[in-house]
Amino acid sequence: MIPSAFDYARPSTVQEAVRILSEAGEDAKVLAGGQSLIPVLRLRLAAPSLLVDLGGIAELRGVSESGDELVIGAMTRHADILRDPLVARYAPLLAQATATVADRQVRHLGTIGGSLSHADPAGDLPSVSLALDAVMTIAGPAGERSVPASEFFVDYLTTAMQPGEVLVAVRVPKREGWGTHYEKFNRVAQAWALVGVAAAVRRENGSIAEARVALTNMGTTPLRATAVEQALAGALASADAIASAAASAAEGTSPSSDVSASAEYRTHLAKVLTRRAVAAAGGIDAA
C-alpha cells in the first residue's frame, strides 16, 4: 500500500527535532524505527503532513550507566538491547521481553523509544518499563523533563508527551538481587501478546520481600497488578502463596474482547500467567 503524501525532515540534533516538531504542530509525527508507524501510514489510518525522522540523531542511540541507573537512548534498536552487556547485567527483564518482540526483522529496526511512545497496551515494553520503574526523559521546547512510567502511559496509544515533545531516553534503575521474568502468551511467535506479565521479585530469607508485577494488554494502558504485589509483599516464597496472590491479577483491569481472544479468557490468562511469571522470577517451582 502507498501512504498519503507527506513532508520529511531528518534533524541531526534533539534540539533541531524539537524545533521542527514545535513549528509543525499536531500534524507532524515522529518516525523512530517505523515498525508501527509505517504500517499505519500504508493502511492510511494516519496521514500526517510531516514525518520527523529521528534516525539521524546519533546521541539517541546506545546504552550507558549513570550512577544507579541505566540510560537507554530512545533510538536504541531492540537488537542492540539484546546484545547489550549492561542491560544483560542490570535489566535482564528488558532483554528477555525484547527478545519476544515480533520477529528478527522488526527487532533490527524497531526502537525502545518508538515502542514506548507508541504506547500500544499490547506491546511488551510498556509493561516492562512499569515493572522496572523506568523513568522517561522527554525533551520539549521548554527543555527536558522526567516522567515515571507510572505516569507516562495515559490512555490507548496515548502518553503524557505533548505535541513538540520527543522521548530521548529511558532511565532504568539498576536492579541487582532481583529475579525477573516476562511471561508472554501469544497465538504465534510473531504476534502481539494476548496477555503478558512482567514480574520482578526480591527474595529475603525464604520470603518475598518485594514484588513488582505489570500486565500487558489487560486494559487501554499497561497496568500494575497492585493487588498481587500487595499480597506478595512479605509472603512466603511458596507456590501456594504465589497462586493465592496471582488469583487477584485481573483486579482493576479492563481487557478487551476481539477476534484474538475474549475478555473472559484474557482475565483467566492474566491469573495463570501472573502465577507463572512470579514463580519464575522468584525461582520457585510453581508446579
Partner 1 sequence: MTVTDERPAAEVGAARRRKEDARLITGRTMWTENVALPGMLHLAILRSPMAHARLVRVDTAPALREPGVVAAFSGRDLPAMGLPCAWPVTEDMVHPDHPALAVDEVRHVGEPVAVVVARDRASAVDALAAVDVEYEPLPVVTDMEQALADGAPLVHRDKGTNKSYTWVFDSAAAGTGGSTEEAFANAPVVLRRRYVQQRLIPSFMEPRSVVADPTGDQYTVWSATQIPHILRFLLSVVTGTPEHKVRVVAPDVGGGFGGKLQVTPEEVIAFAVAQKLGKPVKYTETRSDSLLSAHHGRDQIQDIELAADRDGKVLGLRVKLLANMGAYLGLVTPGVPLLGAFMYNAIYKFPAYRFECTGVFTNTTITDAYRGAGRPEATYAIERIMDELAAELGLDPVEVRRRNWIGHDEFPFTTVAGLTYDSGNYEAATEKALSLFGYDALREEQKRRRESRDRVQLGIGVSTYTEMCGLAPSRVLGSLRYGAGGWETASVRMLPTGKVEVVTGTSPHGQSHETAWSQIVADQLGVAFEDVEVLHGDTRTSHKGLDTYGSRSLAVGGIALVNACQKVIEKAKPVAAHLLECDVNDLEFRGGAFRVRGTPTEEPGKTLADCALAVFAAHDLPDGVEPSLDADATFDPENFSFPHGTHLCAVEVDTETGRVSIRSYVAVDDVGRVVNPLIVEGQVHGGVVQGIAQALFEEAVYDADGNLLTGTFVDYTLPSAADLPDVVSDRTETPAPGHPLGTKGVGEAGTIASTPAVVNAVVDALRPYGVNDIRMPCTPERVWRALQGGAS
Which residues here bind partner 1, judged by CB under 8 A?
1-2, 4-5, 43, 103, 185, 187-192, 194, 259-262, 265, 268-269, 272-273, 287
- Considering the complex, state which of residue 176 and residue 285 has its C-beta at the smaller distance from partner 1: 285
- Considering the complex, state which of residue 207 and residue 253 has its C-beta at the smaller distance from partner 1: 253
Spatial separation of the C-alpha atoms in residues 57 and 145, rounded to whole Å:
19
- To partner 1, the closest distance from the beta carbon of 108 in angstroms equals 16
Q: Which residues contact 79 (CB under 8 A, 6 or more apart)?
A: 104, 107, 108
* Full DSSP string of the chain: --PPP-EEE--SSHHHHHHHHHHHGGGEEEESS-TTHHHHHHTTS---SEEEEGGG-GGGS-EEEETTEEEEETT-BHHHHHH-HHHHHH-HHHHHHHTTSS-HHHHHH-BHHHHHHHT-TTSHHHHHHHHTT-EEEEEETTEEEEEEHHHHEEETTEESPPTT-EEEEEEEE---SEEEEEEEE-SSTTSPPSEEEEEEEEEETTEEEEEEEEEESSSSS-EE-HHHHHHHTT-BSSHHHHHHHHTTTTTT------SS--HHHHHHHHHHHHHHHHHHHHT----
- Considering the complex, state which of residue 194 and residue 237 has its C-beta at the smaller distance from partner 1: 194
- Considering the complex, state which of residue 104 and residue 145 has its C-beta at the smaller distance from partner 1: 104
- To partner 1, the closest distance from the beta carbon of 261 in angstroms equals 5
- Considering the complex, state which of residue 83 and residue 187 has its C-beta at the smaller distance from partner 1: 187
Backbone angles phi, psi at 121, to 5 degrees: -65, -15
- To partner 1, the closest distance from the beta carbon of 153 in angstroms equals 21
- Considering the complex, state which of residue 95 and residue 261 has its C-beta at the smaller distance from partner 1: 261
- Considering the complex, state which of residue 15 and residue 190 has its C-beta at the smaller distance from partner 1: 190
- To partner 1, the closest distance from the beta carbon of 265 in angstroms equals 4
Spatial separation of the C-alpha atoms in residues 269 and 265, rounded to whole Å:
6
- Considering the complex, state which of residue 11 and residue 123 has its C-beta at the smaller distance from partner 1: 123
User: How far is Cα of residue 283 from the mean position of the Cα atoms in its chain?
Assistant: 23
